[in-house]
Amino acid sequence: MVKSLNTKMDMSCKGTWYRNGPFYGNIMVGDNAFEFYNETKLQDYIQIPWDEITYVVADVYFGGKYIPRFEIRTKSNGTFRFSARNSRQTLRAIKARIPRESLRKAPSMGFILKHRFKNLGKMILKKKA
């Protein structure tokens, strides 16, 4: 059994960890770390201490009414994508543990397409010159 890094639990809910495919389990936000664990498959767990997290990026739709998933970016181990049954409450619990500057909103699809077309236009003009 995996020993938890947390001594006090702030929030717990069902969630999904997207790693090569979906892994279902429970998300726990505590005083020392963000944890994902599966009660049946003990090898499907992850523990991310709060001092290891650089950014939390959330996909926000419909003016903040719908948050399907969020991504935790760490200093050394890369990015981890999660989806929670209560994503808004999960992000509020995370917000209490990390600085506000570390919470980000993911760019929308319209924003990404707009900037790609701008860059494409610049590349075409550069080739002609």
Residues 6+ positions from 50 with CB-CB distance below 8 Å: 32, 33, 34, 97, 98
Question: How many Cβ atoms are within 10 Å of 27's Cβ, its own excluded?
Answer: 25
Buried b (16+ CB within 10 A) or exposed e, 46-68: bbbebeebeebbbbbeeeeeebe
Residue 1 is predicted with a pLDDT of 61
Joined tokens for residue 80: 């981890």
Q: Which of 61-65, 89-93, 113-117 has the highest mean pLDDT?
A: 89-93
Residues 6+ positions from 117 with CB-CB distance below 8 Å: none
* Average pLDDT value for residue range 72-99: 93
Assign residue 74 a region (left: φ > 0; alpha: ψ between -120 and 50; beta: otherwise): beta
Q: Which of 69-73, 98-102, 109-113, 115-119 has the highest mean pLDDT?
A: 69-73
Burial class (CB in 10 A: 0-12, 13-18, 19+), 37: buried
Residue 57 is predicted with a pLDDT of 94
**DSSP at 118:** H
pLDDT tens digits, residue range 52-76? Answer: 999 999 999 888 889 999 999 999 9
| Cβ contact 80:70 at 8 Å | no
Interatomic CA distance for residues 12 and 106, integer angstroms: 24
The CATH code belonging to domain 9-128 is 2.30.29.30
Cα→Cα distances 11→33, 34, 84, Å: 12, 10, 11
Answer whether residue 3 shows pLDDT above 90.
Answer: no
